[in-house]
Every structure is written in C-alpha cells, then in structure tokens.
Amino acid sequence: MNLAIENLRWGQYLAWMADMKAAYIKAPGPATEILYGDLEVPVPQKSEVLIRVGAVSVNPIDTYLRSGNVPMELPMPYIIGCDVAGTVEAVGPEVARFRSGDRVWGSNQGLLGRQGTTAEFVCVDETWLYPTPSNVTDASAAAMSLVGITAHLGLVHRGQLQAGETVFVNGGSGGVGSAVVQMAKCLGAAKVITTAGSEEKAETCRLLGADHVILYRQENVLLEIQSQAPDGVDFWWETVREPQLDRAVTALARNGRIIVMAGRDARSEVPIGPFYAKGCSLLGFVMFMTPAEVQRRAAEEIYRWLAEGRLVPRIDRELSFSAAAQAHSIQEGSTVGCDGSLQGKIVLVP
C-alpha cells in the first residue's frame, strides 16, 4: 500500500517536475565556473531516497573537489556539495528505513562517484541518511552533517576520548573545531582548551563550552596550554592545514593522542624521543572513507545531542543556491587563505 502511494507520488513528479534548479560544474575549475540552472530531477533507484532539499552546507572538501585540487572521478554535470537535509518525497523499491514525509539529513554525497547535493531534489542511498529531530531545522542539520560526523569519528572511533580527559582543539572556531569543542564536553571531557583568531570568535568558543580560549594570533599557544594543563593534554585535535606536531608532542600528557585530518601536502617534524617515551599516538582519518555503519553510530549520538540542544552548529550565513559560486570563494578565502572571514558554516538554501 505504501509502495503504491510512493509510486503515485513519483508519478506526479514525472509529470510535473522534470526539471529542477541546481548548482553544478561541467569540469573542475575556479569557483566562477559554478553554474546555476536546470537539471533533470533524478529518479530514485533500488535503495535510494528522493529528497526535497531544505538546506545544504558548504565544506572545504567541496571546494577541493570543484577546483580539482583533490582529484576524484566526478559524474558530469557534477552537482556540488556533500551535506544535505530535507524531506523524503519518494523512495526506491528497496528502501526500508524511510518513507515519504520523513525529515532526513546526511553527508558523504558528491564523493567517490556519487552525485552532490546542491539541487532542489537529490537521490541518496538510504545507507547515508539519518532522521532529523523534529526541533532541529534543515539548516542546522545540514550545517552539522559532515563536521559533526567527523568530530564524532575522531573523538570516539579513532581517539577513544575518555570522560575526565583534557582536550586541546587547534581551530575551535572552525566548522570541525566548533563541533569537536561541543562534543568533547558532551563526552565528559574535564577541560577543553582551544584557539580562536579574534576575541569575538573566542567568545563564541566559550559559549560552545570551551573552558579556555587562546588567541593564536597574539598569544604563545604552547605556553598557554602548559599553564592551563600543567600535566599535559590527553587529546590534541589538529584542524589546521599546516600542523606543528613538535608543539603538540611537547604539550601532550602520557598516553596522549594527536588527531590529524587536514593538510594533504603538509610536512611536520615530530620529536621522536618524547613521542615514544610518553607513549603517544598519532591518528589520522578521512571521514568519507569511514564505513557507513560506523558513521551511522556517530549519527545516532549526534541525533540525541541535537535534539537535546547540546550540539548547536555555528552558522555564519545563509545564501541561496544561486550564490553557490560566492559561497565557494568565501569558504576558500577562509579555509585556504586563512582570511578569518567565516565564523561558522555557510548554509545554502533552494
């Protein structure tokens, strides 16, 4: 019966909605090459869900894929964007977890051959989708998607953060860093120390739960950490693209862990003596290479924290899909150019 209703709804789409607006590219290149125009509404196959998109968010990886700096096989035309939140409009015949009308969020699209999300309608395999809490907007769900799963994977799956540990986040005002700061507190970290590029951003980090914020443009980061954590930090999360691991190893406590997840071309010196003598670990990971079932476990806890209001994404601005090129150039200026222009995520809406 449900399937019949879905088919009926889908029939309506075929009749009424053959085209949709999307932001896409025809070949990798600069942000100015992003086009905004009509593409065909996709048809959900097998275990795919057709989503009426409410919001997507912009991540640095979107800009690397668009520019070709991270080469990946892309379907052409390639719709930009990894994150999505919206409402299920129709489902493929094998979909088991969702039905039309459900609100969903997810990430991992636009990657590894999959089509991206900045379109009025997208088809996403249900493997990559999770329910949206009723009290959370699509903009918030989209803004927390990739960065939230990344933060959870690093803290829990890779780093095995324990309650009572001290955490340092280099870049707590950024997309990933602001999620790490909040989640570390949700997971029971005793103290969270982080950095920010301005007093305004430092205040935001404090509101997110940071116990101490270091102004990295003005203060000596290592000395500040050592004064805040005289026995060392248990967990160092590095979000900057040129990590200084020498400093991290110096600041670590016994059995300290360092998470690295940015800076593909970065090189860094590691002081080997203190590293092994203190029993330290250096852990790296890529969110979108992590198996779907591991990501789903992260998403379940994110659902709970979002619903409880303990996890709140930082949204810098909301723009329309038609301003996707502008959004990419702002994101590049902030993440790659370090111009400090963003204070959170850019959300794009249809």
Ligand X SMILES: NC(=O)c1ccc[n+]([C@@H]2O[C@H](COP(=O)([O-])OP(=O)(O)OC[C@H]3O[C@@H](n4cnc5c(N)ncnc54)[C@H](OP(=O)(O)O)[C@@H]3O)[C@@H](O)[C@H]2O)c1
Residues that bind ligand X (CB under 6 A): 59-61, 146-147, 150, 170-171, 173-177, 195-197, 201, 216, 239-241, 261-262, 286-287, 334-335, 338, 340
Amino acid (1-letter code) at residue 305: W
Q: CA 131 → CA 106, 114, 115, 141, 288, distances in Å?
A: 9, 21, 21, 10, 19
Helix (H, G, I), strand (E, B) or coil at 75: coil
Q: How far is the CB of 233 from ligand X (least distance, A)?
A: 15
Q: What is the CA radius of gyration of the chain?
A: 21
Q: How far is the CB of 257 from ligand X (least distance, A)?
A: 15
Helix (H, G, I), strand (E, B) or coil at 285: coil
Residues 6+ apart with CB under 8 A from 223: none
Closest CA to 127 of 147, 97, 102, 151: 97
Amino acid (1-letter code) at residue 74: L
Cβ proximity to ligand X: between 49 and 111 the closer is 111
Helix (H, G, I), strand (E, B) or coil at 102: coil
Cβ proximity to ligand X: between 132 and 239 the closer is 239
Surface-to-core class of residue 318, CB atoms within 10 Å of its CB (0-12 exposed, 13-18 middle, 19+ buried): middle
Q: How far is the CB of 255 from ligand X (least distance, A)?
A: 23
SS3 content of the chain, % helix, strand, coil (to 5): 35, 25, 40
Confirm if 21 and 35 have CB atoms less than 8 A apart. no
Q: How far is the CB of 12 from ligand X (least distance, A)?
A: 38
Q: How far is the CB of 146 from ligand X (least distance, A)?
A: 6
Q: How far is the CB of 101 from ligand X (least distance, A)?
A: 31
Backbone angles phi, psi at 147, to 5 degrees: -70, -35
Q: How far is the CB of 295 from ligand X (least distance, A)?
A: 11
Confirm if 211 and 193 have CB atoms less than 8 A apart. yes
For the record, the structure tokens of 249 come out as: 């190893």
For the record, the structure tokens of 216 come out as: 């990295």
Beta bridge partners of 67: none
For the record, the structure tokens of 299 come out as: 């998403």
Q: How far is the CB of 55 from ligand X (least distance, A)?
A: 17
For the record, the structure tokens of 291 come out as: 């198996």
